[in-house]
Amino acid sequence: MDLELSDEHAALRATVEDFAQKEVAPVIGDFYERGAFPYDLVRKMGAMGLFGLPFPEEHGGMGGDYFALCLALEELARVDSSVAVTLEAGVSLGAMPIFRFGTDEQKAAWLPQLAAGERLGAFGLTEAGGGSDASATRTTARVEDGEWVINGSKCFITNSGTDITALVTVTAVTGERDGRKQISAIIVPSGTPGFTVSEKYSKVGWAASDTRELAFDDVRVPVANLLGEQGRGYAQFLSILDEGRVAFAALAVGLAQGCVDESVRYARERQAFGHHLGHYQAIQFKIADMEVRAHTARMAYYAAAAKMLAGKPFKKEASIAKLAASNAAMDNARDATQIFGGYGFMNDYPVGRFYRDAKILEIGEGTSEVQRMLIARHLGLVATAA
C-alpha cells in the first residue's frame, strides 16, 4: 500500500487546507456562537467543486474519488466540524444514495445541483425511540392513486432545513415480507405539502450546522420517487453507511489533528514559571500522544479507503477507522482543553469548539458500540442466547 498522496490528491489537500485557514477560520467562531448556518462558506465550497468530488463529470461532479472527499473533510475539520459535516452529509447522505441507486431520471433531476453545492440533500433514517436500531422504522408509506402517501417522523437529520435544502430521502415501511418489515427509500422534495421541518435543535456541538426533526402527515409524492428497489431501502442505506463511516473517520481525524495543531501553537507561545509550556516534559508527552492518536487514526481511514476504492470488502476496516478516529478525536479534544487550561473552556478558542464537537463523533453514523459489534462479528464472534 502506497501511503504517499498522488500529486492530484496532494494538490487538493493543500487547496482545501488553504481555504480552511483563510476563509473558514477567521469567521466560523461567530457563526458558531450565533448558531447560524454558514451559507457563504457553503457557496464557496460548492464553487470549489467539493460537493462534486466523488461524482462523474456527466452528473456535474469533479470526476474524483471518495478518498478525495475524505482528504477535504479532514482539512476542513482541522478548523471546524460544522462546516465539515455539512459537506460530509451533503455528499455521503444527500447525493450519494441518488448516485448509487437512482434512476437516470432521478440522477438528471437532482445530482447536478447537489454536486454543485447549489442545493443540499439529506437522508431521513433515524427515528425517536429507534436510535441504533434503524430497522425499527415506524414511518410508513403506501401507494394510493399513483402516489406514495407517507406518514411518520424522523429526528437528528442533518442539512434537512436550510434555505437551500432540495430534498430528503426517507426510509419508510412499505409492507411486509416473511413476517419482516419491508423498508423502502423515497425521495421527498422540500416544500411538499404535509412535510414539516421543525426549528433547529439546540445542540452541544456542531452549532453552525443544520439538524432538525421532520414530520410527514399524508405527504404525497409520485411513485417514481422510489429510490432503488422497493423493500431494499434499509440494505441500500447500510451500504451507504459503510462508505460514510470512512468519510466520518476522516472528519474525526481532522478534529484530532486540529487539537494537535492548536496545542503545539499554544505550547510555543504560552509561558509559565519562566518557560514556554512546550519546555515541560508533561506537555511534550501529552502532545506526542495526541499526534500518535491522530496519525494512527489517519492510517486506519487511509486503509479503509484503499480497500473501498479497490472494490474489495471494507466493512470491518470502515468500522475500525470510525472507532479509532472518534476515540482519537475525543481523547485529543480532552487533552487539548487541559493544555489550554481556563482558555480551553472559552469558546473564543478553537479547542473549546473542538471539545463540544468531539462527542457526537462517537455517536453519529453508528455509535462506538455498534462499531465494536460489527468488528466482533467480522472476527466470527456471534452473540448467542443464554
Q: Report, as residue numbers or ranges, the catalytic residues.
A: 365
**Using H for helix, E for strand and C for coil, what is the string for 121-171?**
EEEECCCCCCCCCHHHCCCEEEEECCEEEEEEEEEEEECCCCCCEEEEEEE
Burial (CB < 10 A; 0-12, 13-18, 19+), residue 53, is: buried
Residue located via cell numbers 452529509:
89
Please state whether 177 falls in left (phi above 0), alpha (psi between -120 and 50) or beta.
Answer: beta
Q: Where are the alpha helices (DSSP H) in 176-280?
A: 233-269
Please, what is the end-to-end C-alpha distance for the chain in angstroms? 43
Give me 152's grid cell. Answer: 411518520
Find all residues with CB under 8 Å of 175, minimum gap 6, and list them. 182, 231
Q: Are 84 and 73 in contact (CB under 8 A)?
A: yes
The whole-angstrom separation of Cα 172 and Cα 234 is 9
Give me 136's grid cell. Answer: 425499527
Q: Are 80 and 26 in contact (CB under 8 A)?
A: no
Closest CA to 148 of 140, 156, 157, 160: 140
Give me 350's grid cell. Answer: 478553537
Q: Where are the alpha helices (DSSP H) in the chain?
A: 7-19, 28-34, 39-48, 66-77, 81-88, 96-101, 104-115, 233-269, 281-309, 315-340, 350-358, 368-378
DSSP secondary-structure letter at 223?
G
